[in-house]
Amino acid sequence: MRTRIVLGEAVIPRSSAKLAWVSAKPNAVAVTFEPSSGVALEDPPLSAELPCDALALDPTSVDMRAAVPGLKPGKRGLLGMRRVIPPSITPGGAPVANLTAQPGADAEITLLELSGQHARILWERSEALVFGWVPTSGLQTATGPRSLRGYGTGSGSGFGRSVHPRTTVVCPDDVPLVAEAEGERLTVGRVLAGVTINVMDKGEEERVVVVPSGIFWVPSEVKLLVRAARLNGCTKAP
């Protein structure tokens, strides 16, 4: 994807999303898209007719979050885990999908606004952004260990000459960054698109990473993680 598009008023494919070709005419292509990773559409698939220059064979560096209507920093929250959460386009409206999150970082959402017993959320998946209104009863308050808050500035563990990554990549989209300490986890930020990521292992679900930086410090007992799926579409750093 080269262009930000909203499908079904609730889904934005990421630049690395694979769209299915349906038909073509001069300067335009009809495509369909069906997100996975915990998103089950009520009426699949989503469809659109796009100009040819909106598409690309390889992932591109486009911040798809800018296409979310009314995007704001919001607050951190969690989808109720092992529950089916039905998002809708308006508060209390007909569901457009069913969302199912796994325990841990997978359930992280951004709470954009509240209206009565409903909340407008943004849920970031590896291949798409999903947003809409959900019942507040389907959300949980995000908490995390004190040791993961309030980092200072300076250089710290894992950022010097001892770094020996298995691979080094750059990604076309921002990648959420999770810190783990004493068995607890907290999403602490995101690695911006185009920033070098040192991948330290080959975990199936999550991978330990090091992000070269001189502006924050990480205690030695804390690991930084990203979901392995979020590295799909990233390219090897030069």
CA distance 48 to 8: 9
Q: What's the predicted TM-score (pTM) here?
A: 0.62
pLDDT at 39: 94
pLDDT at 145: 39
Whether the Cβ atoms of residue 127 and residue 20 lie closer than 8 Å to each other: no
Residue 86's contacts (CB-CB under 8 Å, 6 or more residues apart) are 95, 97, 98, 99, 134, 135, 138
pLDDT at 15: 79
Residue with tokens 């009426």: 43
pLDDT averaged per 10 residues, the chain (length 238): 87 88 93 91 94 78 82 84 90 96 83 94 91 93 45 33 77 89 82 88 88 67 89 88
* Residue 1, both tokens: 């994807």
* Residue 3, both tokens: 């262009």
Whether the Cβ atoms of residue 222 and residue 151 lie closer than 8 Å to each other: no
A 10 A CB-CB count for 210 gives 22
All domains of the chain in start order, with CATH = 11-62 (no CATH), 65-141 (2.30.30), 146-236 (2.30.30)
pLDDT at 86: 95
pLDDT at 22: 95
pLDDT at 183: 78
pLDDT at 56: 77
pLDDT at 12: 94
pLDDT at 21: 92
